[in-house]
Amino acid sequence: MRFMEIYQGEKPVAREVDDALAEACARTRQNLRIGDDGVRPTAVVDVPFAYGTLSLQTSKAGGFSEEDVVLVGEFARVISLGYARFLDFQALEARNLELQREGAVANVRSHVQSMKRAEDFDDVLSMVSGALSEVGLDFETCGIDVLDDPPRNPRWPTSRSTAFIMRPIRSSRQAR
């Protein structure tokens, strides 16, 4: 039986291991980088839950008993609850990050909108740098590159810790 058949069947499946299943088990162990102890499994039990299956292998003679399968089923139900909580936390963390980012942008926007003179723009770089750090963006430098109109000469970024803005200057061609 394949994974999707077991999952969609919604019932535990315990079975003896044939050569094909033994090879599949060995590939899975290899893909997961689980050491190969050279012991071939004799039985496998797969118990579906809302998000996947709980799968166990044994090399014990006789495989899994009905009691074993029932116990694995109880664990699968608990795993299902745990995975649902995991997904809830993932969604909450993503939403919190989104809100934090929106707040950081709003703070910089508010500062820009409250500027009263040209010199107030000098604080923008430090605000942007601080806001990007607060939301967890990993960077070494932060700068604002200001370009002239033609010939569009770039002025290069400053360090993260320095709130310095290079202002456009006339190129030598424009000065003629």
Name the residue ranges covered by the structural domains of the chain. 3-90, 115-175
CB contact set of 29 (below 8 Å; sequence gap of 6+): 35, 36
CA 13/CA 7 separation, integer angstroms: 10
In this predicted model, what pLDDT tens digit does every residue of 23-66 receive, in sequence order? 888 888 888 878 767 778 889 999 999 999 999 999 888 999 99
Is 173's pLDDT higher than 80?
Answer: no
Backbone angles phi, psi at 18, to 5 degrees: -95, -175
Q: SS3 for 45?
A: strand
CB contact set of 113 (below 8 Å; sequence gap of 6+): none
Kindly give the residue spans of alpha helices, DSSP state H, lying in 10-157. 19-31, 66-113, 122-134
Burial of 111 (0-12, 13-18, 19+ CB in 10 A): middle
Task: Give the global pTM.
Answer: 0.63
Per DSSP, 119 falls in state G
In this predicted model, what pLDDT tens digit does every residue of 135-152 receive, in sequence order? 988 888 887 776 655 554
